[in-house]
């Protein structure tokens, strides 16, 4: 039976992740409510705007239930804003009261918009641990990782900084593989669920 993977559908590139996960062999659905969160085996947190997503998680009363599911071991993959939210600590988290809130899924410190503003977005090929060929990475107002804990494996780097990490069955990338048509990172995540 295929794993049931939810995509947090509050804001961001939900549709692209749903397609990539289907292609990788998962059963998929969107998650906007606690009842939907409770039905999934794993979750993807897409790119978007981390402060807006944090605000919506609070408003929809999903923040603490999601933190609890992650602490209990629910696998999760976060891209870009998803990476920011999965961190234990966020540097430059935003304006107090409207800041990005860490879900504490991966023992890391992440800096928001580390590569610069929207106009500084870029693409490039990265070596990625566990994949034979480089990954074409699309960075859009992307974060980078400034600190990793002892149990965190760095899977890829850009400009000397970690941009893909894994801790147990938690995966995070600061770039957007869902927009490239390359399904290998989603497949890596789905395969880890079996």
Annotated binding-site residues read 48-50, 112, 140-141
Alpha carbons 48 and 141: distance in angstroms, whole number: 10
The CA-based angle 5-142-144, given to 5 degrees, is: 90
Q: Which of 17, 55, 76, 178 is catalytic?
A: 178
Does the annotation count 76 as an active-site position?
no
178 counts as catalytic: yes
Q: Is 16 a catalytic residue?
A: no
Detail the residues annotated as belonging to a binding site for L-glutamine.
48-50, 112, 140-141
The single residue of 55, 80, 89, 194 carrying the catalytic annotation is 80
The phi, psi pair for 44, rounded to 5°, reads -115, 130
Q: Is 41 exposed, middle or buried (0-12, 13-18, 19+ CB in 10 A)?
A: middle
16, 17, 55, 176: the active-site residue: 176
Residues labelled catalytic: 80, 176, 178
């Amino acid at each position: 039976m295929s794993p049931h993977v939810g995509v947090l559908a509050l804001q961001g590139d939900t549709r692209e992740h749903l397609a990539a996960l289907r292609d990788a062999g998962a059963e998929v659905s969107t998650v906007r409510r606690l009842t939907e969160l409770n039905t999934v085996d794993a979750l993807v947190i897409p790119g978007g705007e981390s402060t807006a997503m944090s605000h919506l998680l609070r408003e929809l009363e999903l923040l603490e239930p999601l933190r609890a599911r992650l602490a209990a071991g629910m696998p999760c993959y976060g891209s870009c804003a998803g990476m920011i939210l999965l961190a234990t600590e966020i540097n430059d988290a935003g304006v107090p009261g409207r800041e990005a809130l860490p879900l504490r899924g991966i023992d890391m410190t992440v800096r928001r918009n580390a590569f610069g503003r929207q106009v500084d977005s870029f693409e490039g090929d990265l070596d990625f641990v566990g994949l034979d060929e480089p990954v074409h990475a699309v960075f859009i107002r992307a974060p980078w990782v400034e600190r990793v804990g002892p149990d965190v494996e760095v899977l890829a780097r850009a400009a000397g900084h970690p941009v893909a990490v894994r801790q147990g069955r938690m995966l995070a990338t600061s770039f957007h593989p869902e927009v490239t048509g390359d399904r290998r990172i989603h497949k890596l995540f789905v395969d880890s669920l079996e």
